[in-house]
Amino acid sequence: MEQLFIGYDKDFYDAIPYVKVEPGPNEDPYPQRWAIEPSFVEIASKLLFQKNNAKVYEEYGLPDDDEIRGFILAHPELLFYAPELKKVWELLDDKRHFLKALKDQIPLSALMHDLHFYELVFISLKLFRDALGEDAFFDMLNTDEGWFPLSAAIYYWALSDSAKQRALERIKREHSHESVEQIFFGTRVSSPVYGLDRHRDDRIIGDYSFERIGSERTSEELTELFSVPLKDFFFDLYFIECKHYAIYNKQKTPIALLKIEERVLKEIITDRDVSLTEDGLLAVILNWLLEVGYSMGKDTLKEEVE
């Protein structure tokens, strides 16, 4: 039976933590039915009557501060997360930060959700806070992308002991949001492109060698050398239909980058001191295309020749 809450406004009713009740095998799925999520049932039973909210506030040990108490009792929907609010207070330990979090509820909602459902998030966040410092920790949680540190707090416990230690050492060293977010994104290592035959079209033609860019490390180094943003040159190493080659001179210096898409040469990027025509590079590229079975795109040379 659905619980009835007495004396509240619409904001409170919007905040009731309902979950959809799936119909039984012989039940009509419509109308949809909802019930309070089981882990909230106990505290929800204490909030049936608004007149009892002050007792709930005291019962869960929320801050003994008139301004904070007044704000929460004026927004009783927050009391569904009373235990989590106590943890937020312990994490922030600062009236100014805590009130700001209460009034800007988008980051707070995500934080309370994760504190409620993921037991070890609180411990992770305390470690992050101690490593970052309180002000930097609050700023991190209060960004538009505040869900990254929450995800990192969950992922942290999946790390090996040595990886946990390195992660905390990096946070202490850098004092940056990015050092926390990196736990969520994971350690980035150079990976090879798809395919065991990734270098089958590598060739040496005259004084030039054509080599497929076969790892993240190589792609990072070359795009930095040519001042080409990865996204602009479409350096997606894992997109099977797109291949990238570097052309090296006999001194093994990279002088050009080629983009092949669906067996068609779509783009040529040359070093500023290299000319396709004056250095005879264009003829070598055409010979390579013929040898490996690729073709020249109809618009590929427009900018190069002009």
pLDDT in tens, 143-199: 766 678 899 999 999 999 999 999 999 999 998 888 998 998 888 777 777 666 789
Q: What is the CATH number of the domain that holds 262?
A: 3.40.630.30
- Asked, for residue 252, whether it belongs to a domain, the answer is yes
Dist CA 22 CA 85 (whole Å): 30
pLDDT, one tens digit per residue, over 229-249 is 766 555 555 555 688 899 999
The dihedral sign for the CA sequence 74, 80, 86, 88: negative
- Domain holding 152, by residue range, is 118-188
Contacts of 253 (CB under 8 A, 6+ apart): none
Q: What pLDDT is attached to residue 274?
A: 79
| pLDDT score for 1 | 45
pLDDT of residue 53: 96
- How many helices (H) and strands (E) the chain has is answered by 16, 8
* 264 vs 298 pLDDT, higher one: 264
Regarding whether 261 and 172 lie in a shared domain, the answer is: no
Q: How much is the pLDDT for 262?
A: 86
- Would you say residue 112 lies in a domain? no
Residue 83, classified by CB atoms within 10 Å of its CB into exposed (0-12), middle (13-18) or buried (19+), is middle
Total count of domains within the chain: 3
Compute how many other C-beta atoms are within 10 angstroms of the C-beta atom of residue 156. 23
Average pLDDT, the chain: 87
Same domain, 239 and 171: no
pTM above 0.75, yes or no: no
Domain ends where: 140, 165, 188? 188
Summarised one tens digit per residue, pLDDT across range 71-82 is 999 999 999 999
Collect all residues with Cβ–Cβ distance below 8 Å to 149 and sequence separation of at least 6. Answer: 125, 128, 140, 141, 177, 180, 181, 184
Tell me, yes or no, whether 1 and 90 share the same domain: yes
Q: Is residue 47 part of a domain?
A: yes
- Residue 104 has which token pair? 């800007």
For residue 296, what are the β-bridge partners?
265
The pLDDT of 248-259, averaged and rounded, is 92
